[in-house]
Structure 1
Amino acid sequence: MQAIKTMQPSRSQHYYVSNFDPSINSIEAWCEEVDRARETNGWNDHECLSRVASCLKGDARVWLGEWVSNDRTWSNFKREFIPLCPGKLDYANILFDAMNKTSDKYPSYAEYARCTLLRLKIVRGISDDLRTLIVIRGLDNAQVRAAAANANLAPDTIVSFLSIYTKPLAGKRDRVVEHKIHSYVTKPLDASVPKCYNCNRFGHVSRICRQPKSNMSNSRPSHIPSETTCSVQPSSSNTCTFCKKSGHTEDKCFIKAKSVQHN
């Protein structure tokens, strides 16, 4: 097996072919790049086509999926696909898309600047100062945008400058945590969670509430009896000297017995 491998021609594994999107790339320049990689690595027509198929993007990938041909080779691919691509790129649309992009869709400011510069590089005739201004215009943070505008940056320095800034994520995380805490203390998790009628929060009852005691009889629902309500219905005009309520005497007062038990 080793002897057979030594007889086979060695091929370079260091090859790279750029992605191709007919809306933003030139078909002639891309085919020249593929031809150079084909000659360097010794690809035949079939191997070349199988390798560059994964590089097709956008409409080119759709065309390849609908391509019906008995001669599926790289040479035939170039002959049939070059007429399908536009002769001139739509630079106005590319520039419009680049100017509408903002940094809020990217994980970092440096990544936004890198992707925008690569897209603006396709459009010919734009100066370096205009490319820099378009990138700075899309920064969603006012402080970072002002710092970049005052730093006199160029396309080859704006990415490294923006790499020192990180997007503020702590404030958003704090708002999420605060929302979760607020939901826990104001809404019951299920029907079995008790509610305190002293502070109107869930998770404990009023007798163990640490908040200052309030008039619990006012906050308690009408269908729940108050703790201070006597279970004995008033049957006489006697008035209790302890709780000042009529219907019973002090020796039969439920509130006095309860207070003595607590003491």
Structure 2
Amino acid sequence: MGTAKRDNTDGRKRRWQEHNAARRQAVIDAAIVVLNRDLAPGDEISVQQIADEASVHRTVLYRYFEDRVDLDLAIQREICLRAGEVLLSTITLEGTIQEIVHRVIGAYVDWGTENIALMRFAERQVNGTTERPLDDAIGQFAEQIEILIGGILALLDADVSEDDRDALTPWVFLLVGGVMAAVRNWSSREELRPAAPAFTDLLAEVTWLQIEGLVSSRNIEVPDVPVEQLLNLKEAP
């Protein structure tokens, strides 16, 4: 009897938690819709707008969030998650290193162009907390870029000094942060000039020149072949 009662209690608790998580996600999704559909970049979003879109009463909404800080942080995390999924899907071994650079930057420019209001909301510092989901997301993305670079250096059997290895992380942050700052400035214009494809080409070229210049100064030869081909050559007996 005791075990059955505990199982029933645990089952109800689990279903209630799942219900709360689903309702919480529905509210977050509603906020994303309002931001993208109804608001200009930088406009404030109200709890009432979110509640209306989620078809819940404003007071009911706060059953799923501790306060406005919790709500805003949850929205920022969701924005970062969605952007991160797009960007991380581009970090593959397909194509040359230059093509990979272009692909990653192109994905970010495209996402930023289509989701300017979301990007601006994610960049905000939420009052009442020091937490910044965007910083965490940038760190995770930079870490994946660093892993990719480290893997390519290993494929090239590059002789990298200890100082250069120690500086790899901040250098990657410099590249990522520079691209993000450039996209932010460009996307803030009333008219997006140059157009997104031309801007992507320019930004990718500038970024590639930084990479190419650095490896050249270290006498590291980067073959103009797909990274997958380098991997196959490395694995060949």
Report the TM-score when normalising by structure 1. 0.26
Higher RCO by CA contacts (8 Å cutoff, separation 6 or greater): 2
Q: Normalization by structure 2: what TM-score?
A: 0.28
Q: Which is richer in helix?
A: 2
